[in-house]
Amino acid sequence: MWRKWWLLFTVLWGVVAALQVVIILATADEPEKAIQPFVLGIAVPAALYLLGWLWERWKRLRNPNSGSGS
């Protein structure tokens, strides 16, 4: 179940980050300012997926009779 929420969050986060990058590139005198939103647009969903995966693995190791989880 957490993967569905993660996917929804990732899509929303990616759209907002992409809009920020496009606006910065279109209006800023310094296009390198767009690097931070671009990196965060990729890094935050990846970090959240890693946390979700670790949480699922920890729960499965703690209670091996619970099945595959989701």
| C-beta of residue 33 within 8 angstroms of C-beta of residue 42 | no
| C-beta of residue 39 within 8 angstroms of C-beta of residue 18 | no
Q: Flag whether 58 is in a domain.
A: yes
Domain count, the chain: 1
In this prediction, residue 2 has a pLDDT band, given cuts at 50, 70 and 90, of confident
The confidence score (pLDDT) of residue 67 equals 58
pTM over 0.75: yes
Q: Flag whether 70 is in a domain.
A: no
Q: Flag whether 40 is in a domain.
A: yes
The confidence score (pLDDT) of residue 40 equals 96
For the stretch 11-53, pLDDT in tens is 999 999 999 999 999 998 999 999 999 999 999 999 999 999 9
Domain boundaries, position 33: 2-65
Q: Flag whether 26 is in a domain.
A: yes
What tokens were used for 34?
């767009």
